[in-house]
Structure 1
Amino acid sequence: MKARYVIALCCAAVGLSGCALPQVQPWEKGQLARQDMLLQGDALGTRFNEHIYASKEAASGGSAVGGGGCGCN
């Protein structure tokens, strides 16, 4: 019975040891601001995808955070 508690405690210690939030240091922010680190990819590919979306949905815009259109999707 005591061995179960020891094993559970060890498993919890191993599982919780990786729960640290990474901190971005000031000298690392220049690397994160590079063009190739953007989440949206290249501008030409984004414009192409927006054109395809607008052609299929018969609406323009709405790909940003604010949204747009009728909202029926």
Structure 2
Amino acid sequence: MTTRPLILRLSLLFALLAGLAGCASVEPWEKARFADYTMREDRDPLEDAMTSHIHFSREATHGGGGLGGGGCGCN
């Protein structure tokens, strides 16, 4: 019964360290990399068309990619 609290503590420590590993500071001159064309989601028109097709095929939805609203008719 003494191993359970140890495992819990180690799990919490691991989760904390994993969460802290994702934190990083970005210098102002490094931010240009994130604004690059290759980082944009809509840089490939074929991929956009295929993603739209997948959403239409699986969810029977089409369009409305840039508009608000949840489909209930209220904006």
TM-score, structure 2 normalization: 0.50
Q: Percent of counterpart pairs with the same letter?
A: 29
Aligned length: 58
- The answer for the alignment partner of 2:9 in structure 1 is 9
TM-score, structure 1 normalization: 0.51
Whichever of the two has the greater Rg, that structure is 1
- The answer for the alignment partner of 2:19 in structure 1 is 19
Map 1:1-73; keep pairs closer than 5 Å: 1-20=1-20, 21-25=22-26, 26-42=28-44, 45=45, 49=49, 62-64=64-66, 66-67=67-68, 71=71
After superposition, the C-alpha distances for 1:34-60 in whole angstroms (9 at most, x for unaligned) are 111101223xx17x83xx87xx9xxxx
Q: Alignment RMSD, CA only? A: 3.3
What SS is found at the alignment partner of 1:13?
A: helix
Return the alpha-carbon distance in structure 2 between the equivalents of residues 13 and 62 of structure 1: 43
Cα offset for 1:27?
A: 2.5
Cα offset for 1:29?
A: 0.6
